[in-house]
Chains A and B, each alone.
Chain A
Amino acid sequence: MPDGLFIFFAALTLGAALLLVLSRNAVTSAMGMILALVGVAADFFLLDAYFLGVLQVLVYAGAVMVLFLFIIMLLDTEDATGAYPWKTAALGLATFFLLAAGVLWLFHWSGAVSPVKAGATPPELSVNPAEFVTAAKAFGRLLYTKYLLPLEIAGFLLLVALVGVVSLSKDNPETNA
């Protein structure tokens, strides 16, 4: 049996994701998304990736989801009511169960993942993972040596996105007639 905390956060994540997919109200969906992302961040913590867990909560569950909620409120879209059309529901159910069975087979029964037996423990870390500072330091060292070029490109990408969003959301009289 896996760790109790893992079971708890996995159930929380999957339940919240289910809420995101099934809720007819966009705001409820966004709340489910926030909860699911917090669950993913908790799993990052369980995997000793403390820095990424904090980053996930700050960037995703914080900034990105606030942006989503802001746009949902701004657009004030009408909610669809009533049941799903049966075609949509059948497509969704078939996709979910087929692929979920595939995932379970691939990772659990096929033996493709080597430490597949339950109860296997991960190898010890070479640095002490309990120190958050250490993790951030290790991150910084890698980012500014081995991954310097991708880091610069990511920064440039953010600049491009910034300029693009400004030009997209500017009121353009001749295209906006």
Chain B
Amino acid sequence: MENTSLAHHLILAGLLFVLGLTGVLMRRNLLVVYMCLELMLAAATLALVAFSRFNRTMDGAVLVFFVITVAAAEVAVGLALIVALFRKRGTVQSDALTTLRD
């Protein structure tokens, strides 16, 4: 902790976010896309904690607490949706789900 500046943590968070976004754009498996979305959320929380620490306030950390809560709820609902989709269509590959396009 002695020698890390705010910029270091922000760069880590930014790179993590970009990796998640790349995954969302590249991957076709809905479950993996969903995990990449979660990675983007985690990157955002990392930036929040870094800002909160370097500004010596608890508020950012409390916001991260709420982000984790909302993410957990979102994962539960999203996975239930994916399971329902799989039951109906038999696949979770997004390029096989083109009913609305055709």
Contacts and interface: CB of A to CB of B under 8 A. Distances in A.
Interface residues of A, number: 88
Interface string A72-97: 10110100100010001101100110
A116 interface: yes
A40 B38 CA distance: 12
Interface in A8-56: 10, 13-14, 17-18, 20-21, 26, 29-30, 33, 36-37, 40, 43-44, 46-49, 51-52, 55-56
A161 B76 contact: yes
Contacts of B28: 80
Interface of B is mostly: helix
Interface residues of B, number: 73
A144 B31 CA distance: 36
Interface of A: 1-3, 5-6, 10, 13-14, 17-18, 20-21, 26, 29-30, 33, 36-37, 40, 43-44, 46-49, 51-52, 55-56, 59-60, 63-64, 67-68, 71-72, 74-75, 77, 80, 84, 88-89, 91-92, 95-96, 99-100, 103-104, 106-108, 113-126, 138-139, 142-143, 146-147, 150-151, 154, 157-158, 160-162, 164-165, 168-169, 176
